[in-house]
Amino acid sequence: VRGRTLARSFYRRDSRALAPALLNKVLVHEHPVDGRLAVRIVEVEAYAGSRDPASHAYRGETPRNRTMFGPPGHLYVYFTYGMHFCMNVVGEEAGSVRGDASAVLLRAGAPLVGMDAMRARRAAARRDRDLASGPGRLAEALGIARAHDGLDLTRGPVRLLDDGVAPPSRPGRSTRVGLRPGRGDTQRWRWWVPGDDNVSRAKPSGPG
């Protein structure tokens, strides 16, 4: 996989602008044991910091969400449901003086490099399209855990590349997955690459 590492300036924008721009970018982990692991990002969700009740940042800074309050272009990893890790790219809110704690949840990827290592990590996946089709699955396939929280995506062993594949001009779009109703989740802040098999199963009900 050849491509240019995305610069800091790419991330310095509102998460709702950053999220669709991340579609079709390449996420690479130079794993110390398994070597290079890479996927193409095919599904994302935006979280809008202090103005978004569904965001971990809504209630202010805690030790857990500290990375989201830092500079853009870093990786926020959190642990949930007692067993899964999820990966987020930290962005920055437009128009705020100090910046806000916005982030983009990486929900699914299409495996590109290191697929044998991913299959070994994700033994439960029967088909390759299940290797990284969900936020917990994506983190597990790439060997990402709490220790990777806070890494700089412009430098680290975990990087984001532009390999020349543009984001879709008409991405799929819906409300976010897994949020209970009545929590202000009427906004359509989930985007995906249309037709990609690796997009996680939960699809909008009925015609959008």
Partner DNA sequence: GGTGTGATCGTA
Partner DNA sequence: ACGATCACACCA
Residues that bind DNA (CB under 7 A): 45, 47, 54-57, 59, 62-64, 68, 76, 78-84, 86, 88, 103, 105, 122, 124-125, 130, 134-138, 176-180, 200-201
Q: Which is nearer to DNA, 4 or 203 (CB)?
A: 203
Interatomic CA distance for residues 106 and 203, integer angstroms:
16
Query: Helix, strand, or coil here: 16?
Result: helix
Q: How far is the CB of 57 from DNA (least distance, A)?
A: 6
Q: Which is nearer to DNA, 109 or 171 (CB)?
A: 109
Q: Which is nearer to DNA, 15 or 24 (CB)?
A: 15
Q: Which is nearer to DNA, 114 or 140 (CB)?
A: 140
Q: How far is the CB of 2 from DNA (least distance, A)?
A: 29
Cβ atoms of 84 and 75 closer than 8 Å: no
Q: How far is the CB of 120 from DNA (least distance, A)?
A: 13
Q: How far is CA 101 from CA 49, 98, 192, in A?
A: 5, 10, 23
For the CA atoms of 29, 190, 192, 144, what is the dihedral angle to 10 degrees? 20
Q: Give me the residues paired with residue 104 across strands.
A: 46, 89
Q: How far is the CB of 3 from DNA (least distance, A)?
A: 25
